[in-house]
Structure 1
Amino acid sequence: MKTFQLQTLLRTGAVVAALALGGVAAHAQPGPGRHGGPHGGPPPAGLFGGHLDHALDLVSATDAQRSQIDAIFKAAHEDLKGQREAGRKLHEQLATLFTANNIDAAAIESVRSQISAQQEAASKRMTQASIDAARVLTPEQRAKIAEVAKKRQARAAAHRPG
């Protein structure tokens, strides 16, 4: 095999392997009291940063606000429930392709593309849920959440090597 083809195959394999590992992490189930994201995990980063209950506590959200936001994320989770099984099947298909005697780069790319499209659809749905939830809160509540998130990001950045 030519060096260029081998390098391309290795790069493609690394990207697809990273996507496969990311998919496994995305399929994790939420713990008790956690709100599910597109694959059962936390809501995406953004206004809530994956810590919905804590964020709502910080801003003293009313029971009505909590109920509305809970319904928004439950609906999004329900909308994306079918994608979970489809995603598992795609990742199994990808693993099968990578363990085959002959590596079919076109088939691998096709599955990678399907996984990417599925993740994009889930991201769009959860972003819309986050927008809908943010609209339930007052501007002051959103500003407080953003302030806390900014402090958390600064602390995390201070601990990163670099």
Structure 2
Amino acid sequence: MRSLKMKHLIPAAAMALALVTGAAQAQRHPGMGGPGMGAIAGGLMGGHVEHMLDLVDATDAQRAQIKSIMDAARGELKTQHEALRSLHEQGLTLFSATNVDAAAIEALRQKGSAVHEQISRRMSQAMIDVARVLTPEQRAKLAAKLKQRQARMAEHLKSRSGQ
């Protein structure tokens, strides 16, 4: 019976660690590989605000508004990132314990999911706020540029994998 429990606990622990680690990665590299607004979030949250605003010929007033939106979002996301880092450390401690506590690992996984959801919700709100500052034409132009960038990245990754 004991070996059967361990057989199920190890994958559960690995999944919990993967969730927490994955959520931390998503926060550090928002929008990477994701569809739709995620690419915009990745560009704007990733520190490429000025470049993207140059692409759409944003006015000084738009730039100031968007900078304020993104600075606020970054500040809040930093707190979430720190929470994910703490959860990751807790997951490593649980995984390396002599006796694996399945309930604690599940609770940790749920906490990681909740933090990841908060990050996603905050990034979506920031993108909505930015979209309201830009004109429909600017949003269309930005989306077209990001599609080109995604296509180049996909081609680059494909060539690196030898396919």
TM > 0.5 fold call: yes
Normalised TM-score (structure 1): 0.77
1:97-153: per-residue Cα shift (whole Å, max 9, x none)?
111100111101101110110110111011101110111011111111111111122
Given that residues 20 and 84 in structure 2 are in contact (C-alpha distance below 8 angstroms), is that contact kept between their aligned partners in structure 1? no
2:40 partner SS = coil
1:158 to 2:151 alignment: no
1:13 to 2:7 alignment: no
Given that residues 47 and 134 in structure 1 are in contact (C-alpha distance below 8 angstroms), is that contact kept between their aligned partners in structure 2? no
* Aligned CA distance change for structure 1 residues 42 and 64 (closer, same or farther; 3 Å): farther
Given that residues 97 and 107 in structure 1 are in contact (C-alpha distance below 8 angstroms), is that contact kept between their aligned partners in structure 2? yes
Q: 2:42 aligns with which of 18, 43, 49?
A: 49
Bigger share in helix: 2
Given that residues 48 and 145 in structure 1 are in contact (C-alpha distance below 8 angstroms), is that contact kept between their aligned partners in structure 2? no
Aligned residues: 148
Residue identity opposite 1:47 in structure 2: I
RMSD (CA atoms): 2.3
Given that residues 46 and 130 in structure 1 are in contact (C-alpha distance below 8 angstroms), is that contact kept between their aligned partners in structure 2? no
1:131 to 2:128 alignment: yes
Query: Which stretches in structure 1 are left out of the alignment for 5+ residues?
Result: 27-38
Q: 2:72 aligns with which of 75, 78, 89?
A: 75
1:16-43: per-residue Cα shift (whole Å, max 9, x none)?
22234335546xxxxxxxxxxxx5x466
Structure number with the bigger relative contact order (C-alpha 8 A, sep ≥ 6) is 2
* Aligned CA distance change for structure 1 residues 42 and 96 (closer, same or farther; 3 Å): closer
Q: CA deviation at 1:79?
A: 3.3
Q: How much identity, in percent, do the aligned residues show?
A: 52
